[in-house]
Amino acid sequence: MANAPHGGVLKDLVARDEHLRDNLKAEAHTLPDIVLTERQLCDLELITNGGFSPLEGFMNEADYKSVVDNLRLADGTLFPMPITLDVSREDIDRLSLATGSRIALRDPRDDEALAIITVEDVYRPDQVNEAIQVFGADDPAHPSVAYLRNKVKEYYVGGKVQAIQPPNHFDYVALRFTPAELRAHFKKLAWRRVVAFQTRNPMHRAHRELTVRAARQRQANVLIHPVVGLTKPGDVDHYTRVRVYEAIMAKYPNGMGHLALLPLAMRMAGPREAVWHAIIRKNFGATHFIVGRDHAGPGKNSLGKDFYGPYDAQDLVLKYHEELQIEMVPFQQMTYLPSTDEYQPVDEVPKGAQTLDISGTELRRRLKTGAPIPDWFSYDAVVKTLRESYPPRLKQGFVVFLTGLHGSGKETIAKALQVTLNQQGGRSVSLLLGDTIRPDLDTPFSATAEEHSKNLQRLAFVAAELARAGAAVILAPTAHTQAARDAIRDTILHQAGPGGNFFGVHVATPLEHCEGGDRKGIYARARRGEIRGVPGVDETFEPFERPQLTVDVTKQNVPEIVHSIVLLLETESLL
């Protein structure tokens, strides 16, 4: 028998509101609307299908404060993660948000109305306290703290929702199960005990051995329940991971395992996240849940130390064991014994026995360089899938980002580098110079600050897409603030996939030289007040923090600078 939902009742709002669907859809056309972010979309899907039971909407202020401070809803029910709908002051004014307002919530991908929220309250949260309490520190090295600081708006809207329809998915539809569907599947197969395994990474032989061992010890079946919503920036994309999961499922004993995808937006909140994951798997019908070492940990903090202790997550799940009503299975670190060609938990290995392991860092190195990956570590089908998605360095795209003052020589360097890379061959080479991606912005410094910022975002997006496809991209805008440079870098690193190789080059030519050679008269016009927003005159060109290379055309000629960039790329095995 599947485990009872958290709170006793599965809050399947799509099923609950099915008889109202046509009326709600018609009403949504008449209502003001909020287009959800990717994280809000993931949250709404799990609210409306019951994955977040007992929630029936986004948290009001009372629930939010109680969850942040005490890991409980206002009624005392255990729930460790704040699930919130953030809006700006402009949104509040535009939508006339107030208690009793009804707002349509729309899918950002196809603009379909998914639900209607009835506003209970609009409140301004203490986001610093949220970071400290939920994530352990107000440290931007934590990806969710960085998200909270940079992406989350300043107000939250609380209220229950009525479901119109679930989001449309066009990928791996057969592997997407709601809690009700997965419970029905377990019932049909007479699975009474189900061990759920959470993962956001590709699986290899050790993971298969771990899960099979856990199931056999408990006379249970295995649910492989990977996250395909938002994970940690830099993770392997979910398309590649699901192909890996499909390949590895064939290695399980016949009838033991089942693969289902979870559209969760992870917070990487360590101990709290482990309790949250346990509640979610309980709602999906699992009776047991594997909690790993440093479960859902984001890595190192700003001081170079782990955000959470290795067993903090297991300890917190054990603390709430009676309320959770799902049995925790501690993750056992597995190691390979070549003498017997098998995996065993490290604490059961005979003293003196030879063991073999490959770390995640070493695996990534082998994938990048094309070095062999032994079959004792992974399966041929898994390695083949990973190699298809993560080609060796010589086939990966990259972005060379040059920036400096107007007239610094960055565009001349960029054009010369394009010629040099074209001469070498092996990749397509794309050159994106300043505002040339927008013809209407070709006149230097004719754009407003907002237009310039949007244009930099466009350039970064195009560069990331080209690099993802294996191109060499040379990007040379005037990005005079460090925030703009960081935003471009983050876009490349997080959206370019295997092409997320970013090289910042500061063309640090002195202002006097730039102004002296300014044939277009930009600086003269700026000093006469005819144009504004010119870095070096009425805008500060902020110091470029941590560039891979700093060059200056008053000290090096263009061929020397291009050669130094080529050497940098060769050092990284990209040429």
Cis amide prior to 263 (ω within 30 degrees): no
- Catalytic residue, chosen from 21, 70, 149, 201, is 201
Enclosing H/E stretch for 432: strand 429-433
User: Are 236 and 389 a contacting pair, CB within 8 Å?
Assistant: yes
- Catalytic residue, chosen from 39, 183, 200, 489, is 200
Residue 306: strand pairing partners: 300
422 is an active site residue: no
201 is an active site residue: yes
The Cα–Cα gap between 445 and 226 comes to 48
- In this structure, the strands spanning 57-58 and 155-163 are antiparallel
439 burial level (CB within 10 Å; 0-12, 13-18, 19+): exposed
243 is an active site residue: no
Sign of CA dihedral 316, 318, 323, 325: positive
Q: How many residues does the chain have?
A: 575
- How large is the C-alpha radius of gyration of the chain? 27
- Catalytic residue, chosen from 3, 77, 178, 199, is 199
Exposed e or buried b per residue across 99-116, where buried means at least 16 C-beta atoms within 10 angstroms of its C-beta? eebbbbbbbeeeebbbbb
The Cα–Cα gap between 436 and 161 comes to 45
User: Are 380 and 484 a contacting pair, CB within 8 Å?
Assistant: no
Instruction: List active site positions.
Output: 199-201
